[in-house]
Structures are given as structure tokens and as C-alpha cells.
Amino acid sequence: MNFLGYPRADGRIGVRNHVLILPVSYEMNQVADRIARTVPGAVTFRNQHGLDQSGEDLAQTLRVYKGFASHPNVYGVVLLGWGHEPFDLMEIADAAVIAGKPVELITLEQVGGMRQAIERGQHSAKLFLTDRDQSPQESVPLSNILLGTECGGSDACSGISANPALGVVSDKVVAAGGTSILSETTELIGAEHLLAQRAVTPEIGAQILYIVRRIEESSMRMGVDLRGAQPAPGNIAGGITTIEEKSLGCIHKAGHSPIVEVIEYAQRPTKSGLVIMDTPGHDIEQLTGMVAGGSQIVIFTTGRGTPTGSPIVPVIKVSTNSFTYERMRDNIDFNAGTIVDRVETVAQAGERLFQQMLDVLNGQRTQAEKLGHREFGIYRIGQSF
């Protein structure tokens, strides 16, 4: 099974060909925004982070920037810094260069202010946009795909319709030699024993139990009842009663494949097959982590119609019920409510979703892409000082 992709110098395959304006701290948001607004075709996002991080937290932030700068869906990068970051901007630029991308590194300090930074950025972005149109496309096997799976705004149908349908797609990607990411560690609480049983080695099983214990302990260290946030008010309105119930429904989106690896936030999988990435349940932090880890496509199931997307990765929205599909037509790409309506089986809906994923890999734009969604957020594991 093949799709049309953009081969990159590092061996990965892009399914989009973006010119990314990448602001590595909030100081550069205004510059990035001005460049993207004036150069049609370029993409960017608003960044809340970039400074005041330290230790592991900083390492994680850097991992996200490197993951975006070297991402297979990105043709070229305009990297924007202030010049006072607590890290070496060259490290990020190098990650993109190693992946074979043209990079322009601009710092405010070096060019002497906003106006010059915007002009330099506009110039480079235009150049990259002209060059990217020469990028050859090739028919490549599905084994090149790293699928990110996500659920947000879950309702009681998530575990009955959309997640099992996504599970069918995940299993098919894995069977074709590709990779699928299950994440949202908070939403594994209460279902981790089932996943541990599916690990290919006892060590990986122990890692699954460890990351779940770690997130549960961190909520307990704060002396909070997780029920304040999980399940969320929208989940409860949709019929989900406890985090265990939510988790037991969540894991259906990972199908039935064995689990071959557990990776940290924003890390790249080293194996093909089903992997677990340790991320929070927060939709955008999770999405950003999977994209930084190299996912070229994300399938996102939603009971409530979550209006989000990524600046560089197509996100296919799948509604769990037909009411939400009708109410949120602008935001939803696929209705798995047909399973609840008893007009399709899980297997039938899964096959239809798989075909739609192939269409999107081949260039069909998702609703989130058409609407210009470009959310970005880094999972912080340390404090700002």
C-alpha cells in the first residue's frame, strides 16, 4: 500500500511541504506573525514558551524545537530567536540542516531589530516557497508513516465508536510496517494493566506501569483529587463517570497490536510498531509532542468536536456520534457515529477511516488545515523561575 510523499535527505517522508516560520520564544511571535501574514503559503504558530526553563524541562523544550525544525512535513525553516535564549540556537538550526532542509537563522540582536528581522524573514520565506515547488514526490510504502493517535473531548461513545474505528486504522498501519503512537498517559490510568500485558517484553510492560504511576503520583503530590480535571466537565456531560472508564475507552484507539517501545515526550520512536509516548492528556501539549516526535499525520477522535489542529501536520477529526458531526460540521472530517447509529460496524467504519487517511496522506486537506488551525503548546515538567 503506497502513498505520494516527499522524500527527505534523512530518509523520512513528508506528507506536506511546509515552509515553517519557527519562533523559539514568545519574544519572536510578532516577527513570526508579520512574516507569515505577508508571505502567503508560509506557516507559523504562537509560542508561549522559550525562556525561563532549566534542566530536564529545558531539554524537553529544545527537543520540541528540534523535532519541528527537522520534521519531514517541513521543506524549509526560518528560525527566529532573540539572541538571549538559554540554549544554543545553532543546535536547532543543525537539526534542520542534518535533515536536509534550507534554514535561515535570524536573531533580533544580530540583525538589529524587528523591521530588519521581518524583512530578512520575508525574503528567505519567499525563496524557500519558490524552491519547494521543485520538490519531487514519490510513491512510497505505508511503512514510512508515523501515525499519531489522539482523543479529546471524549464522551461515552468514544470507547464504542471512534476509538475502536481508529484502532482498526492503527492496527493496519502497524501491519503495513508503519508506526502508531498511543499517548495521553493520564488517560491510561485504570487501563495500564491491559497495555502492560500487550508489551513485547516484561521491561516494556514495567515501563508502561511506571509512567502511569509517575503521573498519578504527581497529581497526588499536589494533594489533588484527579477528578477535578479528569474526567473533564465536558466528558462528564457526555456520560463518562470516572478516569478509569475514560481510559478503558481511550486505549481502544491503539487497536490490538503489541507494544514495542515506551518513549519520552517529543522523542522519536526507534522501532516500528505500536509505541507509547508519555504525554499529558492536554490536547495541544500531546499533539505537539507527537508532532515533534515525527508524526506526519494525526487522527483525533472527539465526542464534543474539539476545534484544534497543528501548523505542520494534517489532523483528521473523527466524531464519536452523529449529533456532534452535524453540530460541528466545519471542524469534523469523519463521522464514526454511524457505529452508534447501527448503520456501520467498527470494522466497516475503520476501513472507511483508513481510506480517508490515505486520501489525506496523498494531499487532501483536512478541515483543520482549511480552517487554518495551528495550535502549539509544550508540556512543561519544570517550574518557571
Q: Which residues are near another protein by CB under 8 A?
A: 155-157, 159-161, 164, 186, 189-194, 209, 212-213, 216-217, 219-227, 230, 236, 238-239, 241-245, 248-249, 303, 321, 323, 339-346
- CB nearer to another protein: give 192 or 283: 192
- Find the shortest distance in angstroms from Cβ 185 to another protein: 11
Cβ atoms of 30 and 54 closer than 8 Å: no
- Find the shortest distance in angstroms from Cβ 303 to another protein: 8
Cβ atoms of 209 and 196 closer than 8 Å: yes
- Find the shortest distance in angstroms from Cβ 143 to another protein: 30
What three-state secondary structure class fits 293?
coil
User: How does DSSP assign 307-326, residue by residue?
Assistant: ----SSS-EEEEESSHHHHH
- CB nearer to another protein: give 84 or 227: 227
- CB nearer to another protein: give 84 or 214: 214
- CB nearer to another protein: give 104 or 278: 278
Compute the distance between CA of residue 361 and CA of residue 154 in angstroms, rounded to an integer. Answer: 25
- Find the shortest distance in angstroms from Cβ 313 to another protein: 29
- Find the shortest distance in angstroms from Cβ 147 to another protein: 23
Q: Angle of helix 89-98 relative to helix 55-69, nearest 10 degrees?
A: 40
- Find the shortest distance in angstroms from Cβ 28 to another protein: 37
- CB nearer to another protein: give 62 or 162: 162
Retrieve residue 246's grid coordinates: 475514560
**CA dist 304 → 33, 234, 254, 385 (Å):** 30, 7, 20, 36
- CB nearer to another protein: give 88 or 341: 341
In the chain, the N- to C-terminal Cα span, in Å, equals 50
- CB nearer to another protein: give 114 or 194: 194
Cβ atoms of 320 and 162 closer than 8 Å: yes
Retrieve residue 383's grid coordinates: 517550574
Burial class (CB in 10 A: 0-12, 13-18, 19+), 231: buried
- CB nearer to another protein: give 178 or 238: 238
- Find the shortest distance in angstroms from Cβ 252 to another protein: 8
Cβ atoms of 15 and 73 closer than 8 Å: yes
- Find the shortest distance in angstroms from Cβ 345 to another protein: 6
Cβ atoms of 310 and 316 closer than 8 Å: no
Compute the distance between CA of residue 157 and CA of residue 249 in angstroms, rounded to an integer. Answer: 8
- Find the shortest distance in angstroms from Cβ 356 to another protein: 20
Retrieve residue 299's grid coordinates: 487522527
Provide Rg for the chain, Cα atoms.
20
Pairing of strands 13-14, 146-152: unpaired
